[in-house]
Structure 1
Amino acid sequence: MKLVLVCFFAFSNIFLLNSQSVYGNVEYKSKINGSFISEDVINKEKDKNLRNTLNFLNSSIKNNQNKFVFVLDFNRNVSVFSMNKILNVDNDTQLKYAIITNSGKDIFYQNIISRKKIKKKIMFGEEFNIVSNLDSLKWELTREEKKIGKYNCFKAITYLNKKTKIEAWYTTQIPFGFGPKGFGGLPGLIIELKENNIIYFANKITLKTNKIFEIEIPNTQNTISIEKYDSIGRSAKSRLKKM
């Protein structure tokens, strides 16, 4: 198995060095598989107000999911992923909740040279550039495969934590290790990704030749670690509870 992977990566590197395709663009859409928050979780909640909030969140996502379009731009070394801007959001509370839940205000960067990924996020009116290691997630490459459009795809699995399982379908036909929401590091482009009950799927893939496409990565001097960011978030939540 190791020999196969070594041979594959060697072939991929040769492909990247000689291929004329130096820039790619993928349009992703998303859909809900069932409910974002399970009915069991909602029904077990004793607080009526919180139950109503969870139901409102579920309906917000369900009613607005088809409005979202995400774009992944990449060259050989870096990528950026974000949601296309939606107009007239301020007067639609459900839409605003759905955008936040889908990380619609966040921007995700990957750099396969430095092996870093950065998430640009706004929290409590302040901008954070959260940096983490691209190799921090350990993918399990399975033997499962399926055809998505014209691409032969393979399944990979990883876990963000004990409760969050990530399933990715990637294709070696496009040997660029990028994907939605900062997920990547696989032997090919992620065509479909499932995080909790939200599925992101490639709706349109464009590979362009003989074009240099530069992606500006946030300055690493203005970044914080994911551990520091989580600490700030916990402190902020603690202060809110005491108010």
Structure 2
Amino acid sequence: MKIISSKIVITVLLVFATVLSFAQKDFQGQAYYQTKTSLDMNFGGRQMSEEQKKQIAERMRSSLEKIFILTFNQSESFYKEEEKLEAPAQGGGNMRFRMMGAGGGEYYKNVKEGKLIQQADLYGKQFLIVDSLPKLNWDMGSESKMIGQYLCFKATAVRKVVGGTAMPFGRNNNENQVEAPTEYTVTAWYTPQIPVSQGPSDYWGLPGLILELHDNNTVILCSKIVLNPTEKEKLKVPSKGKVVTTAEYEKIAQEKEAEMRENSGGRNMGGGGRGPF
């Protein structure tokens, strides 16, 4: 109990030590996140050798491992993938599936107004998702750890899975169906030393910047933070694409996946999950 209290006291002192910096009207920060998504290699229930799995993982590395930049101030943030030159395509490029929670799109969050604007690409078509920020009931505990020079505290929340109730494998949809979970637990590590209610993608709502996030099969870890950069960036608000709500977008995505699954003879095309991360 004394150890927990000491950590809390230290955190409070650190917050007070930086509060003047965050009180500036033109305050801005940038957080760089590395994302890594694990993938079930037993596609369609088919067993593969370790060598085959290794080859597929290597070909898909650019899709499974990404770097994102979160630019934020006291009330707004803009989250996008870091721009980089695309590597030449290797074999296996015909494997199409929607990366659930693995990257894609741009996110603008305004926590003061409770607004979320996301630009997403679904099978080559752009959508502009305009909706309220998702509200998660965070359970904030006393467990803590250091991430770089920042003292972080653990918080968890339950998030519902958006998608079908079953994941059909194989050509016959009546065989080998696996019931998919309807919800899962998200784990976040946030630091009160940066007292902004922001985080990667659509995550927010904690009394400090989220530096680490475990979202289903994706791990997001902050690798670099820049506070009050010399050259400030204007926070971009996405504006391209067909305007839809989150529910409308997920319905379109599910219908498209069902259509592609039917055209592919009933094979699973990567359904289940929340949507592009």
Name the TM-score class by shorter chain: 0.7 to 0.9
* Matched residue, 2:68: 70
* Matched residue, 1:232: 252
* Matched residue, 2:34: 29
Which amino acid is 1:107 matched to? E
Residue 115 of structure 1 deviates from its aligned partner by 0.6
Choose which of 182, 205, 223 in structure 1 pairs with 2:225. Answer: 205
Question: Unaligned 5+ residue runs, structure 1?
Answer: 1-7
Residues 233 and 116 (structure 1), Cα distance of their counterparts in 2 relative to 1, 3 Å cut = same
* Matched residue, 2:116: 117
Identity %: 25
SS at 2:228's partner residue? strand
SS at 1:182's partner residue? coil
Residues 193 and 241 (structure 1), Cα distance of their counterparts in 2 relative to 1, 3 Å cut = closer
Q: Cα deviations across residues 20-49 of structure 1 (Å, max 9, x unaligned)?
A: 6711011111345xx432x7xx39x54x3x
Choose which of 41, 57, 60 in structure 2 pairs with 1:59. Answer: 57
Distance 1:99 1:83 in 2: 19
CA RMSD of aligned residues (A): 3.8
Kept in 1: contact 2:106–2:120 (CA 8 A): yes
* Matched residue, 1:4: none
Q: Does 1:82 align with 2:102?
A: no
Which amino acid is 1:113 matched to? K
User: Which residues of 2 match residues 1-243 of structure 1 at below 5 A?
Assistant: 18-19=23-24, 22-31=27-36, 35-37=38-40, 42=42, 45-46=44-45, 48=46, 55=53, 59-60=57-58, 63-64=61-62, 68-89=66-87, 91-92=89-90, 101=99, 103-161=102-160, 162-208=182-228, 213-219=233-239, 223-243=243-263
Distance 1:64 1:219 in 2: 26
Residue 92 of structure 1 deviates from its aligned partner by 3.0
Kept in 2: contact 1:90–1:96 (CA 8 A): no
Distance 1:231 1:20 in 2: 41
Kept in 1: contact 2:32–2:70 (CA 8 A): yes
Which amino acid is 1:74 matched to? F
**Structure-2-length-normalised TM-score:** 0.66
Distance 1:99 1:74 in 2: 31
Q: Cα deviations across residues 161-205 of structure 1 (Å, max 9, x unaligned)?
A: 234321110001001111112211211101111112322111110
Larger helix share, 1 or 2: 1
Residue 98 of structure 1 deviates from its aligned partner by 11
Deviating more after overlay: 178-187 vs 58-67: 58-67
Deviating more after overlay: 202-211 vs 113-122: 202-211
Residue 231 of structure 1 deviates from its aligned partner by 1.4
Deviating more after overlay: 150-159 vs 103-112: 103-112
SS at 2:131's partner residue? strand
Structure with higher Rg: it is 2
Distance 2:123 2:60 in 1: 26
